């Protein structure tokens, strides 16, 4: 009997907590005293639909106290769609206090698009400053300038859905800075009047199609970088030198090849002469055999050859004496 009583008590306690889970009476009472009209069965159905009643009720209480007109069905729908209900309510309250036109459907669309709608409203009230990374550009005189800009933007509520983000703003501002510096005739002009960069960039309408409105662009710092023009000229001169050296080497190689070719031709001609001289004794022997050449003719030819060799030898001696040395026995030969 005692065991049955204990089991009944435990079962009763479990059923009581289950009842309180599905029937949040405390939330219902809080809602009634806060002026929010929500039925007890409606809270039960929220639990069945796996919607946290506390989030919906607390958001309804906050919206009601702020004077916003929303329904529990709208909040449930947004929650089931994966939205952040408390964040949307905070954004609507902030927009209402700041006199910014923002409807519930627009706020939920911005939230479901993945943007922080409350932060967007805050940026609309308090503009945000975005600092660009270092942007390097080269002026017309070849001097590199490195600039840093601060962009003051305000969220454009009407273009938050489908509008480009901060990365696009930074890219466009960087592009405008490069164009402005590149169009300057001298880097000194940019250093003297850096505000010209911001004025030229603002005139380009860089916030078109973005979720922000650019209020101002201020140049925070401008540093002088490398002399890109001189470096390019040096590199070009080095490249031209290498090209000239390559062409000179090509001409030298062609001259060497031509010289080797001429030597080969000279060797070939000398070989032909030697071959022709080798045929002379054969021709003399053939003349002996045919009777066209006699012994006396042969001796006469030998004497002529010897006389020719002697003359060549004397000619070589005279060349040697002309250099300051007289041949020995030259006087004795003259006396004879």
Q: Are 166 and 160 contacting, i.e. CB atoms less than 8 angstroms apart?
A: no
Separation between Cα atoms, residue 71 and residue 86, nearest integer Å: 14
What pLDDT is recorded for position 172?
Answer: 87
Beta-bridge mates of residue 223: 146
What pLDDT is recorded for position 242?
Answer: 92
In the predicted model, residues of the chain with pLDDT beneath 70 are 1-2, 5-24, 316-336
Q: Are 177 and 138 contacting, i.e. CB atoms less than 8 angstroms apart?
A: no
User: pTM (2 decimals)?
Assistant: 0.55
Secondary structure string (H, E, C) spanning 12-37? HHHHHHHHHHHCCHHHHHHHHHCCCC
* DSSP assigned state of 142: S
Asked whether the CA dihedral 16, 18, 19, 21 is positive or negative, the reply is positive
What pLDDT is recorded for position 15?
Answer: 58
SS3 126: coil
What pLDDT is recorded for position 323?
Answer: 41
pLDDT one-digit tens code per residue, 187-218: 888 888 888 888 888 777 777 888 888 888 88
> Of 12, 85, 76, whose CA–CA distance to 45 is shortest?
76
């Amino acid at each position: 009997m005692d065991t049955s009583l204990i089991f009944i008590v435990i079962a009763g306690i479990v059923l009581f907590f289950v009842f309180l889970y599905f029937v949040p009476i405390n939330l219902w009472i809080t809602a009634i005293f806060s002026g929010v009209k929500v039925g007890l069965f409606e809270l039960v159905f929220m639990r069945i639909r796996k919607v946290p009643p506390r989030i919906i009720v607390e958001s309804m209480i906050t919206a009601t106290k702020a004077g916003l007109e929303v329904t529990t069905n709208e909040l449930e729908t947004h929650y089931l769609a994966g939205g952040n209900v408390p964040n949307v309510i905070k954004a609507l309250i902030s927009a209402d206090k700041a006199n910014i036109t923002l409807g519930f459907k627009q706020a939920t669309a911005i939230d479901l698009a993945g943007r922080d709608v409350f932060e967007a409203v805050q940026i609309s009230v308090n503009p945000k400053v975005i600092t660009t990374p270092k942007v390097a550009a080269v002026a017309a005189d070849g001097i590199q300038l490195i600039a840093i800009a601060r962009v003051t933007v305000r969220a454009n509520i009407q273009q938050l859905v489908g509008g480009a983000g901060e990365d696009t703003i930074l890219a466009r501002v960087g592009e405008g800075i490069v164009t402005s510096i590149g169009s300057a005739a001298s880097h000194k002009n940019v250093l003297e009047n850096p505000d010209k960069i911001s004025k030229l960039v603002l005139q380009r309408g860089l916030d078109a199609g973005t979720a922000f409105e650019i209020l101002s662009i201020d140049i925070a710092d401008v540093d002088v970088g490398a002399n890109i023009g001189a470096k390019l000229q040096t590199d070009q001169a080095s490249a031209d030198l290498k090209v000239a050296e390559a062409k000179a080497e090509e001409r030298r190689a062609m001259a060497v090849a031509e010289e080797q070719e001429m030597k080969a031709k000279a060797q070939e001609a000398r070989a032909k002469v030697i071959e022709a001289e080798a045929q002379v004794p054969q021709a003399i022997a053939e003349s002996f055999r045919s009777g066209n050449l006699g012994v006396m003719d042969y001796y006469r030819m030998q004497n002529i050859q010897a006389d020719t060799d002697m003359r060549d030898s004397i000619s070589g001696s005279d060349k040697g004496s002309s250099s300051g040395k007289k041949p020995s026995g030259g006087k004795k030969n003259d006396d004879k």
